[in-house]
Amino acid sequence: MTAEAERLRATVARAPWFSRATLDPASLRPLDELRAGPTTVTWATVEGARDRTAVLVLAEDDAALLAAALALTARPAWTTAQGGTVRWHGPPLTDARPGPQLTATATNAVARVTAGRPPAEEDLVLKVYRVLGDGRGEVALLGRLGGRAAPLPEAVGHLEYVAPGGRPRGCLALLTRTAPGVPLDVPLRAALHAHWSADPADRRRPAPVDP
C-alpha cells in the first residue's frame, strides 16, 4: 500500500460525512487524480454492503475541494493523471472567487461564490458531491424546471468526471445562481430550538390542530 493510499484511508475514516455503516474505509483504492491550483483532487473507490462500490471525491479538506472545483470551471476540459477527463458544462468562469462555506448535508461541500466584478457581480452557490454521481438527479431536475416561475436555483453549469474508458462517470459539482426564499432547514431548526428550550411541561402538551 502506498503512503498516499494510507493517508486517504485515514482521512476518510475520520471524516464525519463518511458512512462507516455502509462503506468500508479499509477497501479504499485511489483511482485517479487531478491537480487544480494548489490542490490535488483524488477519486477513490470504496466498497460497501450488498456489493456496492462508490467513487469518492477527496481533497485535503472542504475548503480545498471547493476551491479546486471552482478552478475547474475556467475552461471546458481537463485531463487527469490516468487519462480521464473533467468536463465543465457551462460558460468559462475566469473571474470567480470563493466565499464562505455553507452548512450542508453530509455528502456535499457547499460554498457561496462571487463571479465577475462590480457592477456586474453575480452571487452563486457551488456544491461539490463527495460521492461521484450524487448530483446527476439534481442537474437533470433543474434542467427540466429551468425558466419556470418557481423559487428554484438556476443552474449555471456542472462539472462531470469521466474515467479512462468511460466508466465510472458522473456529476462532480453543480454551480447555481442563488434563489429567493429561506431554506427549509431554517424554520425547522428554529422550531426544534423553540421546542427543546420550552418548559418540559409545555413539551408534553399536544400541538394545536389547524381547523
Is position 204 within any domain? no
Q: In the prediction, which pLDDT does 195 show?
A: 63
Mean pLDDT by 10 residues, the chain (211 residues): 80 81 87 94 88 88 93 96 96 90 77 87 91 78 65 85 88 87 59 65 49 42
DSSP the chain: --HHHHHHHHHHHH-TT--TTTB-GGG-EEEEEEEETTEEEEEEEEEBGGG-EEEEEE-SSHHHHHHHHHHGGGSSEEE-TTS-EEEEES---SSEEEEEEE---TTEEEEEEEES-TTS-EEEEEEEESBTTTTHHHHHHHHHHTTSSSS-PPEEEEEEEE-GGG-SEEEEEEEEE--SS--THHHHHHHHHHHHHS-HHHHHSPPPPP-
Domain span at residue 96 reads 3-198
Dump pLDDT digits (tens) for 34-86.
999 899 999 999 998 777 888 999 998 889 999 999 999 999 999 999 999 99
CATH number of the domain that 18 lies in?
Answer: 3.30.200.20
Residue 17 lies in a domain: yes
What pLDDT shows up at residue 105?
56
Q: Is residue 39 part of a domain?
A: yes
Per the domain annotation, does 210 fall within a domain?
no
Structural domain includes residue 211: no
Residue 208 lies in a domain: no
